[in-house]
Structure 1
């Protein structure tokens, strides 16, 4: 019976992977088919309407402009959030200062508040600062994400022993050097894990750019895709599938290169003294 357990598990995993891959396969295949072919039913055989669907889509939106804007915003948000959230988490984990517990509890409370509740106030603040219709309101607020800080702090407390920091201080290393040479390498699996979710969250962000941005050439991809659904292109299902396929490529690439860190960060244990 024990010999059958492992093959059954592998078969279950393979079936699950195939089921998860089917929607992506349908999207890729339908992006190459005409509207009539899609309505006729699903097939695994690609069609010959890829260029026609592409031209129809480009007649209404410049998807590559939106792709570039989304890429710029998402990469900057991911890099800034990863670095400054790690710095904040390191401070919460290994420093003692006045109001530390209050600030940490306040950060936990902020995690429970939906961002949409403060959207009107955020709009007014951006208006008063004169940064509307720019990428600044979409990038700067993500510098220190409460959830990322909380996750990295918990990770640090289980993987980085204080004795390593004390040893670095005895050797004469500055606090920033300790952070960059000792803490950051230890945190990299957790930072990479959070970077995946940060990138995806920023890439899929729709409501905030819709409120903050006014110039069509600055719209990120989700906003352009929303306009696409309200145009005549929505009647061409092949063009819709093609636009969606282009929009999910960076997310798939991010998972492809960074997903291995999810396992390593989850399975990380404490350091043996």
Structure 2
């Protein structure tokens, strides 16, 4: 029996290795092209790095300060990820543990909000921030995104399969407050689900283009996607190496996020399959 399984396992591993290589090729092409000039890029692809990295970088920095945009995107994305993860977990804990009047209706309303595209309220959102005097600041990009219905829904469903009421009762009998129960018992249990959603929240915030474009006016406050859009419409677009370099820089944080939190995704997916 084991001899029959061995060839099958070998084939699966080979297919996975092939899939990993295919997935890595576009990223490798992007990095290689960031080191080549436009003429070489048009000529064709090579696996050997070029010698135009410094020239491409200087050309790009001559039009936009990409590191300032990187800093702005990092501030917004990290703030959104941390605040959304914490308050969504707190809300999910309330929905999963407590019974209160209107709980089901409120949860249903939250699910309905998941179906509404955010672009529909863009004009009203702009006018609201104009009235509050919050335009050209990071506040409209951070504070509203804390209320994430999908993150609350996902974490609540995860918590329903992993948190046992006996743990809460034991903590209450020991005199623990509700906030202490949340921070010491519930939140560590929810961490795989929170980390999973944090990846997607971070990527969504990092790649957000429309909202920063509408809200921000000062070039020094532009996030990286807005700067990349500006770069695309400038003379730098004629230098393909500079464009590839800018894209490569913008992709690095996303790859790092997946690198650190990928194990939590596997844990979160596996937890839902062992409900007893």
What per-residue deviation string (whole Å, max 9, x for no partner) do you get for residues 58-107 of structure 1? 11100000000000000000000000000000000011111111110111
Instruction: Tell me what 2:214 maps to.
Output: 211
Residue pairs, 1:153-232, within 5 angstroms: 153-232=156-235
The ranges of structure 1 where at least 4 consecutive aligned residues each deviate by more than 2 angstroms after the TM superposition are 269-272
Superposition RMSD in Å: 0.9
Offset at residue 4 of structure 1 (A): 1.2
1:37 and 2:40 are equivalent in the alignment: yes
**1:114 has 2:117 as partner:** yes
Distance 2:209 2:67 in 1: 17
Find the counterpart in structure 2 of residue 241 from structure 1.
244
- The answer on 1:13 being equivalent to 2:11 is no
Superposed displacement of residue 3, structure 1: 2.3
Q: Deviation per CA, 1:10-35, whole angstroms, max 9, x where unpaired?
A: 00000000000000000000000000
CA contact (8 A) 1:32 1:49 kept: yes
Q: CA deviation at 1:163?
A: 1.1
Rounded to whole Å, the distance in 2 between the matches of 1:222 and 1:127 is 23
| Whole-Å separation in 2 of the counterparts to 1:271 and 1:211 | 45
TM-score between the two structures when normalised by the length of structure 1? 0.98
The total of aligned residue pairs comes to 272
Equivalent residues in 2 for 1:69-108 (5 A)?
69-108=72-111
**Post-superposition CA distance 1:155-182 (Å, at most 9, x none):** 0000001111111111100000000000
When normalised by structure 2's length, the TM-score is: 0.97
Q: Which runs of 5+ in 1 are unaligned?
A: none
